[in-house]
């Protein structure tokens, strides 16, 4: 397709999937259970961390975590006592286990003791690259693991572009927190990162669709591929390129494009 034809096609698909009916069967349903900003941030982070595998299982396990936090994750993070953490013993989602979970809880308590929003953890003190999200994800990874007792095993659950990862789950989380429109799916809670800056969340489903539509030519699922896809999407919708994540995801997962 020519670029304009492709835009018309993806606009139509995005319009169909960027809809409240999308929420129920997607991990974003977990933070949608909350109204307090910090609760949404925390629930969204855990939903994103767990977002690999079957969506039904992801949603179930993320909701289980929220229930274990008494459906008040921000209050739990700040006020829990050591004995309260015993309830997480034995938690597992694929390779993410209770060791990883307890460390993330520990990080969140340290962070929210000093900050009002998790957005602060993603804002670099100084820019080191031309892409804000590269810097944001890199600095988040460093802040997350900037303590002597950080488990080495937990690092594999948090991607960083410095290792050339596509960072699909964290880019998805940033889409949830940053994008805002009148459809009610994404939250738009954060303002220091612009929708323009976001990078398309690239998993194998989205990558296959992007290859089929000739948005990219490389078949490697890495940071450069995510950048390449986003670069084309910005040509079609400069102010909000990851709007088309709905179309690419819907074509790959819902319509089973191969």
Q: Rounded to two decimals, what is the model's pTM?
A: 0.97
Closest-CA residue to 99 (of 87, 111, 91): 91
What is the number of domains present in the chain?
Answer: 1
Q: Is 79 exposed, middle or buried (0-12, 13-18, 19+ CB in 10 A)?
A: exposed
Contact 45, 176 (CB under 8 A): no
Alpha-carbon separation of residue 186 from 24, 175, 197, 222, 236 (angstroms)? 13, 7, 15, 24, 20
Tell me, what's the pLDDT at 49? 97
Tell me, what's the pLDDT at 126? 84
Tell me, what's the pLDDT at 132? 96
Tell me, what's the pLDDT at 129? 81
pLDDT mean for each 10 residues of the chain (258 residues): 93 96 96 98 98 96 98 98 98 98 98 98 88 97 97 97 97 98 97 97 95 92 96 97 97 87
Tell me, what's the pLDDT at 188? 98
Tell me, what's the pLDDT at 258? 67
Cα maximum dimension of the chain: 60
Domain coverage including residue 60: 3-254
Q: Hey, CA dihedral for 60, 65, 68, 70, is it positive or negative? A: negative
């Amino acid at each position: 397709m020519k670029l304009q034809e492709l835009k018309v096609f993806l606009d139509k698909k995005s319009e169909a999937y960027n809809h409240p009916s999308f929420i129920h069967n997607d991990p974003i349903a977990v933070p949608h259970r909350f109204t307090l900003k910090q609760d949404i941030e925390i629930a969204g982070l855990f939903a994103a961390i767990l977002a690999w595998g079957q969506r039904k299982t992801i949603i179930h396990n993320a909701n289980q975590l929220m229930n274990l936090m008494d459906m008040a994750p921000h209050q739990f993070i700040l006020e829990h006592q050591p004995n309260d953490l015993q309830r997480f013993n034995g938690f597992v989602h694929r390779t993410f286990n209770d060791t990883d979970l307890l460390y993330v809880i520990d990080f969140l308590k340290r962070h929210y003791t000093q900050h009002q929003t998790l957005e602060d953890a993603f804002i670099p003190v100084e820019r080191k690259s031309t892409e804000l999200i590269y810097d944001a994800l890199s600095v988040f990874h460093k802040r997350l693991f900037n303590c002597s007792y950080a488990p080495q095993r937990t690092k594999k659950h948090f991607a960083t572009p410095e290792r050339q990862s596509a960072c699909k789950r964290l880019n998805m989380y940033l889409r949830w927190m940053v994008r805002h429109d009148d459809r009610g799916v994404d939250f738009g809670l954060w303002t220091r990162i612009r929708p323009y800056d976001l990078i398309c969340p690239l998993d194998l489903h989205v990558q296959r669709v992007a290859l089929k539509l000739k948005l990219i030519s490389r078949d490697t699922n890495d940071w450069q591929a995510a950048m390449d896809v986003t670069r084309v999407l910005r040509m079609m919708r400069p102010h909000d390129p990851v709007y088309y994540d709905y179309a690419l995801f819907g074509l790959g997962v819902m319509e089973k494009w191969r």
